[in-house]
Chain A
Amino acid sequence: MSAALDIKGLVKRFGGLVATNEVSFSVKPGESVGLIGPNGAGKTTIFSQIMGELRQDAGHIALDGTDISHLPTPRRIRAGVSRTYQVPRPFSDMSVAENIRVGLMPDSIWQMIRYGPNHDRESELALSVGLTKEQLQRQPSELSMGDLRKLEMARTLATAPRLMLLDEVFAGLTVNEIAIMSSLVQSMRDDGMTFLIVSHDLKALEPLIDRAIAIDQGRLIADGSYAEVIADADVRASYLGAA
Chain B
Amino acid sequence: MGLRWYHYVLWAAFIGGMFVLPEFVSRGTLRTLIFANFLAIFAISWDALSGRTGYISFGHTFLIGIGAYTTAILTKRFGVPVEVSIPLAVIATMIGGLIVLLPALRIRGSYFALVTLAMMELIYQLVQVIRPDLTGGTRGMSGLPTLTRGAANGYYMSVSLMLAIALSTWLLMRTRLGTALWAIGMNEDAVAGSGLSPTRLKMIAFLTSAFIAGLGGAVYIHYLGSIAPRALFDINFVFTIIVAALIGGAGTIVGPIIGAFFLTFLLEYLRPWLPGAERYMVYAGLALILYMVQPKGLASLVTDAAARLRRAP
Contact = CB atoms under 8 A, between A and B. Distances in A.
Interface core residue of B182, B191, B194, B196 (most chain A CB under 10 Å): B194
A112 B190 contact: no
Contacts of A115: 176
Contacts of A109: 177, 200-201, 204
A109 to B, nearest CB: 6
Nearest to B192: A73
Contacts of B200: 109
A117 B176 contact: yes
B186 A77 contact: no
Given A116-B1, A116-B175, A74 B196 contact: yes
A220 B205 CA distance: 44
Given A91-B183, A91-B186, A92-B186, A74 B192 contact: yes
Interface core residue of B176, B189, B197 (most chain A CB under 10 Å): B176
Interface string A47-91: 000010100000000000000000011100110001100000111
A104 B177 CA distance: 12
B57 to A, nearest CB: 21
B187 interface: yes
B159 to A, nearest CB: 26
A45 to B, nearest CB: 16
Contacts of B196: 74, 102, 105, 107
B195 A77 contact: yes
Contacts of B150: none
A155 interface: yes
A207 to B, nearest CB: 28
Contact of A102 (B172, B189, B191, B197): B191
Interface in A88-119: 89-94, 98, 101-103, 105, 107, 109, 112-113, 115-117
Nearest to A76: B195
Contacts of B189: 53, 89
Contacts, number: 81
A51 B195 CA distance: 11
Nearest to B171: A113
A2 interface: no
B183 A112 contact: no
Contact of B182 (A77, A94, A112, A113): A94
A168 to B, nearest CB: 16
B232 to A, nearest CB: 32
A77 B172 contact: no
Given A89-B187, A94-B186, A116-B2, A102 B192 contact: no
Nearest to B190: A89
B183 A94 contact: yes
B193 interface: yes
Contacts of B190: 89-91, 102
A73 B180 contact: no
A78 B201 CA distance: 16
A103 B175 contact: no
Contacts of A155: 194
B193 A73 contact: yes
B125 interface: no
Contacts of A44: none
Interface string B161-190: 000000000001001110110110011011
A16 to B, nearest CB: 26
A235 B21 CA distance: 78
A107 B201 CA distance: 10
B102 to A, nearest CB: 16
Contacts of B191: 102
Interface of B: 1-2, 172, 175-177, 179-180, 182-183, 186-187, 189-197, 200-201, 204
22 contacts: A51-B193, A53-B189, A53-B192, A73-B193, A74-B196, A74-B197, A77-B194, A78-B195, A82-B195, A92-B186, A93-B182, A94-B179, A102-B180, A102-B190, A103-B194, A105-B194, A109-B177, A113-B172, A113-B176, A116-B176, A117-B176, A155-B194
Given A89-B187, A113-B177, 11 more contacts: A51-B193, A53-B189, A53-B193, A92-B186, A102-B194, A105-B176, A112-B180, A116-B2, A116-B175, A117-B176, A117-B179
